[in-house]
Amino acid sequence: MPISRDDAEEFTQSLGQITAGAWRQIALAKRLGVPDALGLTVVDWVEQKLGGYIKLSILERQQAAIELKKEGHSGRQSAAILGVDESTIRADLANAGNPASGGVTINEIKDVIDADAENPALHNKGAITRTAHEEIAKFAFNQQAKDVPEGDPIRLGDFYELSTELKDNSVDLVFTDPPYDDDSLPLYEQMGEVAARILKPGGSLITYCGHMQLLDAGVSLRNHLRFWQPLCCLHPDGPLARLTEFGVIAQFKPMLWFVKGTRSDKHTFVNNVVAGPQEKDHHEWQQSESDAAYYIEKLSPEGGFVVDFFAGGGTTIVAAHRLRRFAIGYEKSAKHHAAACKRIAA
């Protein structure tokens, strides 16, 4: 049964959540008939819907050309999937395996073919039985682990310096809680800069924010990401904060939600108010694990990648792991880093 236009549209939106233009996903889309269902060629679909192709190195392109040929694609089809001329594909196939040309050998290629190439779901247009979003999430599960740097889940040090380890377009969700004082406002500019690089197209950044820092923080983040929604965190069972300078009793904590480009999965509705118990067992500024878990579950796929720039007591990392996501956090305080690592290991 041919894929429907609605499924094709949803597949296209979901694809941005993995990485725009990745050739394996483009090949998958071709197998499923996504461009055809939208009345587009593969090339037009990539250019118009995904924002263009990702540039591959010569070795990466040669590897891709070999894999596509093994899967039965013609030179013309492979060229469309990779965004190059058919003559380039012919040259890549001719040079692959020739060390003098800088090409990769067949023995070097054979161990690189991913398990997804043997997945029947990738070759059967009737495989989409629930939603295209779920299918591409399954496809990406094994790929995602390759984007997560090895090491302890929480790194000791400044996120702005250490986050260079994170690949571009590799993170589904940044969920974080920076300090609330005015002196910490420059952190939001750094957060926006890093998030704009590491988030997948369609990925989200959600941050807690102090009441009086809300406007300045939002402006800094908007320099890099698209403002999506204000969010509200209620703690009805806990003590209320008294903002004595303003004569205000604060009954909620503000949160800001930004996205990279546009949200890729608008079919999943998200509450803009969450309410959980106050938790201060692992950090004096700890937030509720239920808050993190709610947005992690809604805004990242199972097997996805979540990052916390200010890990504190490790709440985001614990919630992500329980929901079967990969996660990395950064924490400058050695004391809090040690406590969070102990919590995660428990």
How many Cα atoms occupy the beta-carbon half-sphere of 47 within 13 Å?
8
Higher pLDDT, 158 or 4: 158
Report d(CA 227, CA 279) in Å as an integer: 28
Q: Counting runs of H as helices and runs of E as strands, what totals does the chain give? A: 15, 10
Map out the domains of the chain with their CATH numbers.
5-142 (no CATH), 148-345 (3.40.50.150)
Question: Cβ distance 204 to 263 under 8 Å?
Answer: yes
Whole-model pTM above 0.75? no
**Residue 99, CA distances (Å) to 57, 70, 94, 122, 270 in order:** 16, 21, 12, 32, 52
Average pLDDT along the chain = 78
Task: Give 43-82 pLDDT, tens digit per residue.
Answer: 888 877 776 776 666 777 788 888 888 888 888 888 888 8
Q: Which of 265, 326, 320 is nearest to 297 (CA)?
A: 320
Report d(CA 195, CA 168) in Å as an integer: 9
**What was the pLDDT predicted at 129?**
40
Q: Which of 79, 53, 51, 49 is nearest to 65 (CA)?
A: 79
Task: Give 85-123 pLDDT, tens digit per residue.
Answer: 888 888 878 776 554 444 444 343 344 334 334 444 433
Phi-psi region of 97 (alpha: psi -120 to 50; beta: other; left: phi over 0): left
Mean pLDDT of 298-323: 92
Distance of CA 218 to the CA centre of its chain: 21
